[in-house]
Amino acid sequence: MNIHEYQGKALLKAHGVPVLEGVHCTTVDQALAAYDQLGSKVVAVKSQIHAGGRGKGNLYAPDTGDLVMEGGVKIAFAKDEVETYATNILGNVLVTIQTGADGKLVRNLYVEAGCDIAHEYYLAILVDRENKSVLIMASTEGGMDIEHVAETTPEKIHKISVDPNAGLLGYQKRDLGLALGLSGGAHKAFAKALSSMYEMFVSSDCSMLEINPLVRTADDGIVALDAKVSFDENAEFRHKNWDDLRDLSEEEEVEIRAKETGLSYVKLDGNIGCLVNGAGLAMATMDVIKLYGGEPANFLDVGGGANEEQVKTAFSIILEDPNVKGILVNIFGGIMRCDIIARGVIAATEALSLDVPLVVRLAGTNVDEGKAILAASTLNIHPADDLAEGAQKIVELIGGVA
């Protein structure tokens, strides 16, 4: 789960990490009031969306598609500039390298005081899958695309692996500060900020905390100038405040609805809907559809113990996508019995008056009973014995290779 920069900064501030004064706004008037309130001559006017690359992105009018402004993050030197930038940002669509061509409608703005920057650094805390531990990454090359730095000058990225039993240790903070070339007051300020960030990462169950740039100010302070924060959704049960931080307008509505009923759904661009049990098998089903010339319309895992109602919900979610021209059901019954799935499929097709071709592949527990139930129905259901046959059949039924 991702949150906005302004929310991430509030969290950083609450944990004692220095950030600049700023105000979250949703209207141009609020942005102007924020400028007066901050009392800073120079302010940053920043689009708030759940995607990176905002500064280098472009804003387009949602109705005409015309270019409104280049750059989703602007520095304003006077109040009238704040007005221009806020007007150009709010209600328009920001397209960045990370949003895809459709971009994202900007509903939130952050107006932030300026500061004198002496140097920009990069800092990130994340879970390292290979070492099974929390990893801290820092670089003197702040404000740049860190993947580019990693490729071209990997020696400029410094890493610390935190022992989960010991926590982040004093020498690790000191060493990392020295590796960044910090000394004196800035070195101390860095160690303190890093402690606070690590504490926030752990206590807030973050999966990613990225500060790019983290800056050293002219007076040797350390300030988080940007904040990209995401949380580990598995830990939601112990963070009741996440409900207030979640911006549903940034998430796919249908994916949220699927999740609420215990289904895992991701929409894709093809025309063959899939309904599968198990994440690995669901991915493999998409892959095999593609292998036989079709294009999957979605990823959908109904889980290990789906009931008739969930199967019905799964069908209705698949059919909401107007591109869907056919559906492939692929179930390997383990705990889930094929006869129950077969009944669920029949109930769902009847209830939803399904009018696209349906191929059902059943295997595993009670497969014979399941197949018999499907065969006895008068509905237009095409059986398949294995995944390859199922994929070939559905590709043929919707009119051949795409």
Partner 1 sequence: MAIWIEEDAKVLVQGITGKQGMFHADKMVEYGTNIVGGCTPGKGGQTVDLQGQAYPVWNSMFEAIQATDADATVIYVPPPFAGEAIMEAADAFDTIKGEGVVVCITEGIPTLDMVKAVAFVENRPGVRLIGPNCPGIITPGEKGGAKIGIMPGHIHAKGRIGIVSKSGTLTYEAVAQTMSIDEGQSTCVGIGGDPVNGTGFIECLAAFEADPQTEAIVMIGEIGGNAEQEAAAWAAENVTKPIVGFVAGATAPPGKRMGHAGAIISGGKGTAEEKFAAFEAAGIACAKDPSELGAVLLQSLKAAGLR
In the complex with partner 1, the residue whose CB is nearer, 177 or 333, is 333
383 binding partner 1? (CB under 8 A): no
| Token duo for residue 109 | 């703005």
Instruction: Assess 368 for contact with partner 1 (CB under 8 A).
Output: no
**Is residue 68 near partner 1 by the rule CB under 8 A?**
no
Please say if 122 is a catalytic residue.
yes
Helix or strand holding residue 160 (H, E): strand 157-162
Q: Choose the stretch contacting partner 1; rule: CB under 8 A; options: 10-18, 127-135, 178-186, 346-354.
A: 127-135
Nearest to partner 1 of 87, 230 (CB atom): 230
User: Is residue 102 a contact point for partner 1 (CB under 8 A)?
Assistant: no
Binding status of residue 207 toward partner 1 by CB under 8 A: yes
If one asks whether residue 15 binds partner 1 (CB under 8 A), the answer comes out as no
Is 387 a binder of partner 1 (CB under 8 A)? yes
Report, in Å, the least distance between residue 368 CB and partner 1. Answer: 13
Q: Are 56 and 96 in contact (CB under 8 A)?
A: yes
Residue 57 within binding range of partner 1, rule CB under 8 A:
no
Which position among 6, 110, 121, 122 bears the catalytic label? 122
Give me the DSSP letters along 285-326: HHHHHHHTT--B-EEEE--TT--HHHHHHHHHHHHHSTT--E
Q: Is 238 in the site for partner 1 (CB under 8 A)?
A: yes
How far is the C-alpha of 380 from the C-alpha of 108, rounded, in Å? 49
215 makes contact with partner 1 (CB under 8 A): no
Candidate list 32, 68, 254, 284; residue touching partner 1; CB under 8 A: 284
CB atoms within 10 A of CB 132: 9
Residue 275 CA, chain-centre distance (Å), reads: 23
Structure tokens at 334: 């383990």
Structure-token match 């059902």, residue found: 360
Catalytic-labelled residue, pool 112, 120, 210, 250: 210
Q: How far is it, in rounded angstroms, from Cα 147 to Cα 259? A: 32
Is residue 288 at the binding interface for partner 1, with CB under 8 A as the rule? yes
Residue 275's contacts (CB-CB under 8 Å, 6 or more residues apart) are 300, 302, 311, 314, 315, 318, 327, 328, 329, 330
- Under the binding rule (CB under 8 A), the answer on residue 189 touching partner 1 is no
Here the tokens at position 402 are 């795409």
The site that binds partner 1 (CB under 8 A) totals a number of residues, namely 51
The verdict on 164 binding partner 1 (CB under 8 A) reads yes
Q: Which stretch binds partner 1 (CB under 8 A): 27-35, 190-198, 298-306, 348-356?
A: 298-306
Report how far apart, in Å, the C-alpha atoms of 255 and of each of 252, 261, 354 are: 5, 10, 22
Does 316 engage in binding with partner 1 (CB under 8 A)? Answer: no
Of 173-181, 201-209, 344-352, 393-401, the window that binds partner 1 (rule: CB under 8 A) is 201-209
Q: Could you tell me the two tokens for 12?
A: 């950083």
Question: Least Å distance between CB 300 and partner 1?
Answer: 9
> How far, in Å, CA of 359 to CA of 393, rounded?
7
Active site residue 210: yes
Determine if 289 is a binding residue for partner 1 (CB under 8 A): yes
- Closest CB to partner 1 among 254 and 291? 291
Q: Verify binding: residue 293, partner 1, rule CB under 8 A.
A: no
The answer to whether the beta carbons of residues 361 and 331 sit under 8 Å apart is: yes
Exposure letters 64-87 (e unless 16+ CB within 10 A, then b) = eeeebbebbbbebeeeebbbbbbe
Active site residues: 122, 210
Return residues touching partner 1 (CB under 8 A).
Answer: 127, 129-130, 132-134, 147, 163-165, 202, 205, 207, 232, 234-235, 237-238, 264, 266, 268, 276-284, 286-291, 296, 299, 301, 304, 332-335, 363-365, 386-389
